[in-house]
Amino acid sequence: MSKFIRSTDSEWFRHRLSGVMYFVTAAFVVIFLRLFYLQIIEGEEFRRLSENNCIRLQSIEYPRGLVFDRNGILLVDNRPSFNLSIVLNDARPVKSTIEKLSQYINVSAVELAAKADSIKGISSYRPVLLKQDIGRDALAAVEAHKYDLPGVSVDVQPKRYYLHKNSAAHLIGYLSEINPNELKDKKYIRNKSGDFVGKFGIEKSFESYLMGKRGGRQVEVNVSGQVVRVLENIDAEAGNSIYLSIDQRLQKKAEELLEGKVGAVVAMDPSSGQILAMTSKPSFDPNEFVCGLTHDKWKHLISQPNSPMENKAIKGEYPPASTYKIVTAIAALEEKVIDVNTSFYCPGYIKYGNREFRCWKKGGHGSVHVVRALAESCDVFFYNVGQRLDIDKLAWYAKACGLGAPTGIGLEQEGAGLIPSAIWKKKRFGTAWSSGETLSAVIGQGYNLVTPLQMLALTSSIANGGKRIKPTVMKRIETPEGRLITESNLEILGNLPVSQSTLNIVKKGLWEAVNMNYGTAWIARPGGGIEISGKTGTVQLVGRKENDTGYDRKLSDQYKPHAWFVSYAPSSDPKIAISVIIEHGEHGSSAAGPVARELVKCYLNPESEKSDNAGVTAGYNIAYDEY
């Protein structure tokens, strides 16, 4: 009996032991499989995650290309910006770290925490930008307490610096943060979210040249996220340097002459098409965009009167007024509706139908031919021409002279202007063109619209003998080491629709306008042996009443006429052409002419800079001009 009991107990123990062994074996198999999965199958991934706790990749921003004027004067540089970042995984406890940081840099903890919370869903090992451009005092405070601020770091990045502030701002442009649509564009394939790219001016037009190549480094960090050592480094590559065609000395002079005014000045070498100066007033400081504008600041800027963000030199569209008589004279002479000897008598007005069209000169000009009509800007002469010239013919000549279309300067937002025709009016308004409208069109009023750059291109074509040259703002582009990449080449778009004899007649009229005492632009004479040729213009913004002569009206500033003056110098061998428009300047001769005069003196005779700006206004009250 006892033997049977012992046998039964032994069998029961063996069964129990076998169960335990099966369980232990199964447990070891599970552990082995888990270890096999972690070390063999997922080993690489976990090794990568482990290493990322101590080894990280950091981006190195590239310096953007520098910008110089034609003579090598630096216009746009890069300066160091100290940017404050935090790695949330290293900064724990995050709340305590942010509160300490807030005290050291004098920035609200709420503001810093909001920045940190803005990256929810993004890896906690990724640096979060808390504040850009913190300044040297804040930098010193962070560095002094870096052991109390785990996960907090200061990176030095190059930031754009516009040395001359609002000088040539509309030409140079500004940077702003890349938007989602641009990130999808192949042109920005090397950019990432948060990058600043060109948004305006040459900063945008030459983005591909100015943009450098981002670098990077592999670093080892400690438990607080502080860099222990650099394991590998790939330097960033700077962008290319651009030498603009502008002369900064002339640019500054143009800006001084337009100070306190609204308008634009643009100057060009008529033989090469290189822009020597481009000024639009009022202006803005592109440095304000460097770290990004708030919505409120941007809204305030674009809501300012007189549109400081608009480049009036290329985008501003104005009636050309009497400067358009250059085109009318070309069309009339080429179509042979007049010749050099054709004269019309000007009593100060002309009757057409039941209307009376007045000349700007109350007593009239008497008998005038085309040269004298250009010099004195006789409206009645051109009214008579308008009765002989078809509007569509006039429109064809205007467009063949480059008006009514962008010049192709390579800057965005260039205006096209408007050259009216009978077909255009029918499409636009559904009504036929009336012959009376032609009388307004031939003197540059009515529907006509041009930009200052377009009128400059036309004036340059007159100056260089009839060649239509494409304007350019770039002189050359070099690598950071000084190796030439590309340079501007003369690009001839065609020729003016004008014979040499017609061109000579027009040039004589423009010369007399400045150099004869009866000329409307005599005040623009620079002296010093330099001769200017040019044409004035005055844009009427309000119509005249039946018995209004235009001399005794007292208009508020917003209704005062715009003032035009286009010119080139020296007359015999042109080196510079200039287009000036001053909004509400009243008269081309007294407001715009002296601006061109001083620019010519500055460019051709630097010694004349001794004359101060008082000389610009001398003779205003005795100058006269077409109204």
Give me the pLDDT at residue 612, please: 45
pLDDT grade for 542, boundaries at 50, 70 and 90: low
For residue 312 the two structure tokens come to 């009036």
Question: Coil, strand or helix: which one is 337?
Answer: coil
- CA–CA separation, 599 and 577 (whole Å): 10
pLDDT confidence of residue 13 = 66
Least confident of 92-106, 336-350, 485-499, 522-536: 92-106
| Phi, psi of 390, rounded to the nearest 5 degrees | -70, 140
Could you give the CA distance from residue 581 to residue 562 in angstroms, rounded to a whole number?
Answer: 7
Structural element, H or E, at residue 162: strand 152-162
Residues 6+ positions from 555 with CB-CB distance below 8 Å: 542
493 burial class (0-12, 13-18, 19+ CB within 10 angstroms)?
middle
Instruction: Compute the distance between CA of residue 33 and CA of residue 378 in angstroms, rounded to an integer.
Output: 101
- What does 387-411 look like in DSSP terms, one character per residue? HHS-HHHHHHHHHHTTTTS----S-
C-beta atoms surrounding 73 within 10 Å = 17
Mean pLDDT across 83-88: 83
Q: Is 157 exposed, middle or buried (0-12, 13-18, 19+ CB in 10 A)?
A: middle
Residue 28: CA count within 13 A, CB half-sphere: 6
SS3 355: strand
296: which residues sit within 8 A by CB, 6+ positions away?
none
**Percent of the chain with pLDDT strictly greater than 70:** 87
Encode pLDDT of 245-257 as tens digits. 999 999 999 999 9
| 263-316 pLDDT tens trace | 999 999 999 999 999 999 999 999 998 877 778 888 888 888 888 999 999 999
Alpha carbons 364 and 514: distance in angstroms, whole number: 20
Whether a cis peptide bond, with omega within 30° of 0, leads into 282 is yes
Lowest-confidence pick of 29-38, 139-148, 451-460: 29-38
The values of phi and psi at residue 257, to 5°, are -70, -25
**Is residue 225 scored above 60 in pLDDT?**
yes
What does the angle CA 350 – CA 344 – CA 325 come to, to the nearest 5 degrees? 80
Instruction: Kindly report, residue by residue over 421-456, the tens digit of the pLDDT.
Output: 999 999 999 999 999 999 999 999 999 999 999 999
Tokens of 451: 């930009």
CA distance 384 to 372: 15
pLDDT at 120: 58
Distance CA(423)–CA(396), nearest Å, equals 12
Q: What is the CA radius of gyration of the chain?
A: 36
d(CA 217, CA 215): 7
State the pLDDT at residue 619. Answer: 34
> pTM value?
0.83
Residue 449 and residue 418 in contact, taking contact as beta carbons nearer than 8 Å:
yes
- Please give the pLDDT value at position 615: 41
Residue 45, C-beta contacts closer than 8 angstroms, at least 6 positions apart: none
Largest separation between any pair of C-alpha atoms in the chain: 157
With a CB cutoff of 8 Å and minimum separation 6, the contacts of 160 are 64, 76, 78, 79, 175, 196, 286, 287, 290
Which residue carries 């005249």 as its tokens?
Answer: 544
Report the mean per-residue pLDDT for the chain.
Answer: 86
Alpha-carbon dihedral 438, 439, 444, 446, rounded to 10 degrees: -70
DSSP codes joined into one string, 249-290: HHHHHHHHHTTT--EEEEEE-TTT-BEEEEEEES---GGGGT
Quickly state the pLDDT bin for 618 (edges 50, 70, 90).
very low
Q: Can you list the alpha helix ranges (DSSP code H) found in 288-414?
A: 295-302, 325-334, 370-376, 379-388, 391-400
Name 419's bridge partners.
Answer: none
pLDDT of residue 112: 84
